[in-house]
Structure 1
Amino acid sequence: MGDVVAESKVDFGAFAVLNKWPSLANQRQPDREPYQVIEGTLDQCISAFMEKPAATRHLYEIRTAAQPPLVTGILSPEQVIELSRWREFL
């Protein structure tokens, strides 16, 4: 993935929304819709996500405009963590 990142430009200033899934016993409730926690830039949403306790991060997702190949329209917790790491290098 290192080569892909080196050749890819990620716009961390792009509009994004951090959403949280309703949960019960720390598990997503798939029959409910996620709700907005914050809206701002992709950078702000990544920062807000990383401030959440690691044990609850699976309940969050970031929605933004796709920026292939690294950024999809809905970013999973694993993708957000990877982008947070790459952001430090870019």
Structure 2
Amino acid sequence: MGDVVAVSKVDFRALAALHKWPSLANQRQPDREPYKISEGTLDECISAFMGKPETTRHLYEIRTMAQPPLVTDILSPEHVTELSRLREYL
């Protein structure tokens, strides 16, 4: 029940941007910086991320304003997937 209460405090309308890491053979290139591919709300960016093939999601991240304790300023693929699952309970 605590997770549902915490998620209800997440502002899914907050501004966010979906970024993609440059890749080679489906692997992140750590010597390069990720680039922005879309902007919108956190909700829109989560939806865009979830629309990507599961095999390439590790190349993406969402950047937004931190909303402690559940939302950090850079959301990893695992974090985005978990937020997507939790928002379904709202």
> Match of 1:48?
48
CA contact (8 A) 2:42 2:64 kept: yes
| Structure 1 residue 6, shift from structure 2 partner | 2.5
> Match of 1:72?
72
Question: C-alpha separation between the residues in 2 aligned to 1:86 and 1:7?
Answer: 10
> Match of 1:6?
4
Unaligned runs of 5+ in 2: none
Question: C-alpha separation between the residues in 1 aligned to 2:79 and 2:29?
Answer: 21
> Match of 1:58?
58
| Structure 1 residue 79, shift from structure 2 partner | 0.4
Residue deviations 1:14-67 (CA, integer Å, cap 9, x gap)? 000000000001000011111111000000000000000000000000000000
| TM, length-normalised to structure 1 | 0.94
Q: Aligned letter for 1:7?
A: V
| Structure 1 residue 7, shift from structure 2 partner | 2.8
Q: Aligned letter for 1:69?
A: P
| Structure 1 residue 84, shift from structure 2 partner | 0.4
Question: C-alpha separation between the residues in 2 aligned to 1:48 and 1:6?
Answer: 23
| TM, length-normalised to structure 2 | 0.94
1:83 aligns with 2:77: no
Alignment length (residue pairs): 88
